[in-house]
Amino acid sequence: MNENKIKDGIFLGKRYEVLSKIGAGGMADVYKGKDHMLNRYVAVKVLKREFREDSTFVRKFRSEAQAAAGLIHPNIVNVYDVGEDRGLYYMVMELVEGITLKEYIDRKKNLSSKEVISIAIQMCNGIEAAHERQIVHRDIKPHNVMISKDGKVKVTDFGIAKATTSTTVSTSAMGSVHYTSPEQARGGYVDIKSDIYSVGITLYEMVTGHVPFNGETAVEVAVKHLQDEITPPSELVPDIPYSLEQIILKCTQKNSERRYENMNALIQDLKHSLVDPEGDFVQMIPLNNADTVIITEDDLNDIRGVYTEEDSDDDYDYEDDEYDDGYSDDDDYDDSDEYDRYGDEVNPRMNKVMRVLTIVVAVLILIVLGVVVGRASGILKFGHGISAVDSEGGLKVPSVTGMKEGEAKTILEDAGLSCKVAARRQSKEFDEGCVIEQNPKEGKRVKKGAEVEIVVSSGRVAEEETVPDVAGMDEASAQKTLNDKGFSQVITEAVYSEETQGTVIGTEPVAGTVTAKNTEIKMLVSKGSEKITVPNVVGMSENDAKSEITNAGLQVSSVDTEYNESYEAGLVTRQEPSGGKVEKGTSVSLVVSLGKKPEEKPKVPSVIGTSESNAMQMIINAGLTPSDTTTYEASESVPAGCVISCSPGVGTELSKGDVVSLVVSTGWPSAPPAEEPGGSYGSEEEQ
């Protein structure tokens, strides 16, 4: 009979009905339950018997469960309640219908890069929410990541999480050894970067289908986390995107200072990897003083000898089988008698762990003392890196890859080795002057004074690509097209254009240009036609008005003239349009003043042949003055009383009021008298 099993149907806290067992872990069993107060299904985690008897652990379990209850996030399995009933300590959580990430990996073996990144971003969002509340999970692994039926990723089991303000860590609360960070494995300070390491191991397993370190016992795996380098994922999965591999390698650095500063920085690189899979944007921090502990083979044998059996993980194995009842059918069950046989002593598992921890700490202290004595006596020599004399007197080659050439030489020489630059060549990963490769590799044992050959970067390889034609696309599509071509440095500049707002009108460099992928591409995006304020040019001279309009981006379409009493000749009197905002290039028409309209001079009207009275009226109407003296003459052709002529003549321009004289016909007199015969009028002289 399983003594930890709780009978189905009992109530906890007079509220939560236990329906069926759905999982079991190292510290607690998980049941499907129903909250009768809120009428919803929940998951109930009940602490196992051996941990319930440890008052220190119970206090820790309750305090950390209460801290986790304050975390509300869509990528976290929310904790609703924590309590104790009849000696049972339980935590009530959100019930997620789905499978664990571990089960998903086991089914698919290895996931596609896009699937890995999508799951990782959601997982990291949840962990980041905990970090913002100063809570470190400390047990990140695929078993503690749920994938719901609708594809939502949720992080669960904050049961061993600890506030980051704590400075001590107990190995009894250490998470699964396959995913634990180096500092966590050796019982050091644990912070948010420990979670980042565990995320990196989880990413590694999603990509490759298995964890990077394995062993017969938990301590062997823990030691590998401390001193073995991870096999690059690309050696197992050749088609893994370059950026994703670099993200995994940065997360799983032994030295926590070389990992991501926080979860947000990791999330940003994951998002970047989606749009630029082969991009070289992950910034690897150069290795200076690593905090990796070097342990000799003899020391490892001593540590291994302490463990008589492999420690179990705290993984939850979800199940469908029925369990034997561990309690009576009575809902008011009291297990105090059952527990009396344990008394107040610490349970056997906790005693064993404490003994192991004490021995491990003692061994590490002996190692540190040995190193100090060896360094003082000159047997061991340490520089910027870490090296140690092995049982055969050899030296362990330190890692100098990624360091500047001068720094690499110093570290190798301080380690008792010599350095030779074997070649210089361009690198896709490292800047000029940094070490690309080394031979022998890091960790190899060589004789003192042995030569280590290094290859130094002569600069980054400038991969070239043709700038694609993105004119006519919307901004998002153009951005993706450029990113897919390998151009990651794309900036946007909004410009006025006749194209629809938001449409890409071109790039700089122009489409078709072959250039390095790290070249900055300027994407010109239309912000629509430019609207220009029409300047007011009324009162300006014609030339100044034209310049003002042209300089504003408009054009002058026509110039008309008019007499104007208010503006001098040459000044603009009117414009159209007179103001407001118009599109660039709009035409403006102008009207320019001719000055005041000149006074018209009266002209002598055509009075010839008109009657004297009419002629005088016409002269008056023309603004002139008829003369007081009129000359009368006989005329054979002009009827009597009509004007024969005028002075000044008809059509002559005169000043207003000038006098015009008239000559009026008296008609032709009767026929002259006939000559008398033999005689004439007057004397001959008169004739």
Calpha distance 363→306 (Å, rounded): 11
* Residues classed as catalytic: 139
pLDDT of res. 571 = 95
pLDDT at residue 265 in the model: 95
pLDDT of the residue at 373: 52
What pLDDT is attached to residue 5? 67
3-state helix, strand, coil in the chain (%, to 5): 30, 25, 45
Ramachandran assignment for 14, one of left (phi > 0), alpha (psi -120 to 50 degrees), beta (any other):
left
Residues of the chain with pLDDT under 50: 1-2, 162-175, 289-293, 296, 298-299, 301-354, 357, 376-393, 673-687
Bond prior to 677 in cis (omega within 30° of 0) = no
What pLDDT shows up at residue 317?
45
C-alpha 47/C-alpha 347 separation (Å) is: 14
Report the pLDDT value the prediction gives residue 370, as an integer from 0 to 100: 60
pLDDT at 362: 57
Give the pLDDT score at 532: 86
Question: What is the rounded CA–CA span in Å between residue 413 and residue 403?
Answer: 14
pLDDT of residue 495: 85
Residue 177 in tokens:
């050894």
Give the integer Cα–Cα distance in Å for 141 and 131: 16
pTM above 0.75, yes or no: no
Determine the 3-state secondary structure of 597 from DSSP. Answer: coil
